[in-house]
Amino acid sequence: MIGFLVAGLIIGALARLIKPGRQNLGILATLGLGLVGSLIGGVIAQAFGTGSIWELNIIGFVLAVVAAVLLIGVAEGVAGKSRAHA
Protein backbone atom coordinates (compact mmCIF):
# COMPACT_ATOMS: atom_id res chain seq x y z
CA MET A 1 0.00 0.00 0.00
CA ILE A 2 2.80 2.43 0.88
CA GLY A 3 4.58 1.51 -2.35
CA PHE A 4 1.40 2.30 -4.29
CA LEU A 5 1.21 5.74 -2.66
CA VAL A 6 4.88 6.45 -3.34
CA ALA A 7 4.49 5.34 -6.97
CA GLY A 8 1.43 7.57 -7.33
CA LEU A 9 3.33 10.55 -5.96
CA ILE A 10 6.26 9.89 -8.31
CA ILE A 11 3.95 9.49 -11.29
CA GLY A 12 2.05 12.67 -10.39
CA ALA A 13 5.31 14.62 -9.97
CA LEU A 14 6.65 13.36 -13.31
CA ALA A 15 3.38 14.28 -14.99
CA ARG A 16 3.62 17.81 -13.58
CA LEU A 17 7.18 18.11 -14.88
CA ILE A 18 6.14 16.93 -18.35
CA LYS A 19 3.02 19.12 -18.57
CA PRO A 20 4.02 22.57 -19.80
CA GLY A 21 3.05 25.65 -17.83
CA ARG A 22 2.41 26.20 -14.17
CA GLN A 23 -0.13 24.00 -12.41
CA ASN A 24 -1.90 25.22 -9.31
CA LEU A 25 -2.05 21.80 -7.69
CA GLY A 26 -1.09 20.89 -4.16
CA ILE A 27 0.71 17.78 -3.03
CA LEU A 28 -2.56 15.94 -2.34
CA ALA A 29 -3.93 16.75 -5.80
CA THR A 30 -0.65 15.60 -7.33
CA LEU A 31 -0.82 12.37 -5.32
CA GLY A 32 -4.46 11.80 -6.23
CA LEU A 33 -3.94 12.39 -9.93
CA GLY A 34 -0.84 10.21 -9.86
CA LEU A 35 -2.76 7.39 -8.17
CA VAL A 36 -5.63 7.60 -10.63
CA GLY A 37 -3.17 7.80 -13.51
CA SER A 38 -1.35 4.73 -12.23
CA LEU A 39 -4.60 2.81 -12.01
CA ILE A 40 -5.59 3.81 -15.54
CA GLY A 41 -2.12 3.01 -16.89
CA GLY A 42 -2.09 -0.33 -15.08
CA VAL A 43 -5.49 -1.32 -16.44
CA ILE A 44 -4.47 -0.41 -20.00
CA ALA A 45 -1.15 -2.25 -19.66
CA GLN A 46 -2.97 -5.29 -18.27
CA ALA A 47 -5.33 -5.17 -21.25
CA PHE A 48 -2.24 -5.32 -23.49
CA GLY A 49 -1.17 -8.42 -21.57
CA THR A 50 2.03 -7.00 -20.08
CA GLY A 51 1.29 -8.15 -16.53
CA SER A 52 -0.92 -7.48 -13.55
CA ILE A 53 -2.17 -4.02 -12.63
CA TRP A 54 -0.29 -4.32 -9.32
CA GLU A 55 3.08 -5.09 -10.92
CA LEU A 56 5.64 -2.46 -11.75
CA ASN A 57 6.49 -2.64 -15.45
CA ILE A 58 7.77 -0.13 -17.98
CA ILE A 59 4.70 -0.06 -20.22
CA GLY A 60 2.37 0.39 -17.25
CA PHE A 61 4.58 3.14 -15.83
CA VAL A 62 4.72 5.06 -19.11
CA LEU A 63 0.97 4.72 -19.61
CA ALA A 64 0.40 5.84 -16.02
CA VAL A 65 2.46 9.01 -16.56
CA VAL A 66 0.62 9.74 -19.82
CA ALA A 67 -2.74 9.23 -18.10
CA ALA A 68 -1.67 11.50 -15.23
CA VAL A 69 -0.58 14.24 -17.68
CA LEU A 70 -4.00 14.05 -19.32
CA LEU A 71 -5.73 14.12 -15.93
CA ILE A 72 -3.75 17.22 -14.92
CA GLY A 73 -4.91 18.90 -18.13
CA VAL A 74 -8.52 17.98 -17.33
CA ALA A 75 -8.15 19.18 -13.73
CA GLU A 76 -6.73 22.51 -14.93
CA GLY A 77 -9.58 22.90 -17.40
CA VAL A 78 -12.22 22.19 -14.76
CA ALA A 79 -10.54 24.50 -12.22
CA GLY A 80 -10.13 27.23 -14.86
CA LYS A 81 -13.81 27.11 -15.81
CA SER A 82 -14.93 27.30 -12.19
CA ARG A 83 -12.64 30.31 -11.56
CA ALA A 84 -13.86 32.06 -14.71
CA HIS A 85 -17.47 31.84 -13.53
CA ALA A 86 -16.68 33.14 -10.05
What confidence tens digit (pLDDT) does each residue in 31-83 have?
888 888 888 888 888 888 887 777 778 888 888 889 988 888 888 777 666 65
Which long-range contacts link 61-66 to residues 24+ away (Cβ below 8 Å)? Answer: 61/11, 64/11, 64/34, 64/37, 64/38, 64/39, 64/40, 65/11, 65/14, 65/15, 65/18, 65/37, 65/41, 66/37, 66/41
Full-model pTM: 0.79
